[in-house]
Structure 1
Amino acid sequence: MAALGRVSQLLLKASLLQSRRQLSAAVAGGHGEQAAKTWKILSFVVALPGVAVCMLNMYLKEQQHTHEQPEFIPYSHLRIRSKRFPWGDGNKSLFHNSHMNALPNGYEGHDE
């Protein structure tokens, strides 16, 4: 068993040495320069137009989006305040949006 372990270690070392030689030969042969040029071309031809298409899609979706306030329905399981928040008046969440986030008794600025 020990001999098998030594043989496997020798084979592993030999394969690692061979792969190092191949990698150093590839770098010395200018392969790195060609790869860098390929990735630069791909970045400008594929990645940047892809980002532009995604931005256009987001802009068009935002233009179709309505900004109407949802109807307030006083469900008992929503907007439970068992203790006050440690900031502000204690009733609003940390990232409170008065137009979209209702308080327990309704939206702000609306008389009911």
Structure 2
Amino acid sequence: MFSQFFRRTISQSAPQKAAASSGPASSGPPGSSHKTWKQLSLFVALPAVALAMANAISSVTAEEHERPEFVPYEHLRIRTKRFPWGEGKKSLFHNGETNPLPKGYEDELNGESSIMDVD
């Protein structure tokens, strides 16, 4: 008897609760969800974009640091097979200024100046 009453109570109350709430963004009166999203856009999204812009600008205007001296660690840059492109020593997305080869940075080896050094 108790189990039938319990099942009937749960089965009748679940659809009522689902119909009463139409979603997490509309906890207030009907039709007020656009105000919630407008306030979120103005007071959360726009300041976040402004902070991201300030961070990007400050990183561009910051002074550049010197590149660290190359240290040929034995456990890094191990080449057991050659790459199937080019001369086989460089990976597909190799950057000569930031990715050293086992002998060091390429521009130091070749005596070239950096692309960033513009007078």
TM over 0.5: yes
Find the aligned partners of 2:105 and 2:40 in 1 and give their Cα distance: 50
Report % sequence identity. 47
Return the offset for 1:103: 0.5
TM-score when scaled to structure 1?
0.73
Q: Which sections of structure 1, spanning at least 5 residues, go unmatched? A: 25-29
Q: Which has the higher contact order (CA 8 A, sep 6+)?
A: 1
Q: RMSD value over aligned CA atoms?
A: 2.5
Amino acid at match of 1:13: S
1:108 corresponds to 2:103: no
Q: 1:48 aligns with which of 46, 49, 55?
A: 46
TM-score when scaled to structure 2?
0.69
- How many residue pairs match? The answer is 105
- Spell out, residue by residue over 1:18-65, the C-alpha distance to the aligned partner (whole angstroms, 9 max, x if none): 2134237xxxxx934211222112212221111211221232134325
Deviates more, 1:58-67 or 1:70-79: 58-67
| Equivalent residues of 1:69, 1:99 under 8 A apart | no
Of Structure 1 and Structure 2, the greater helix share is in 1
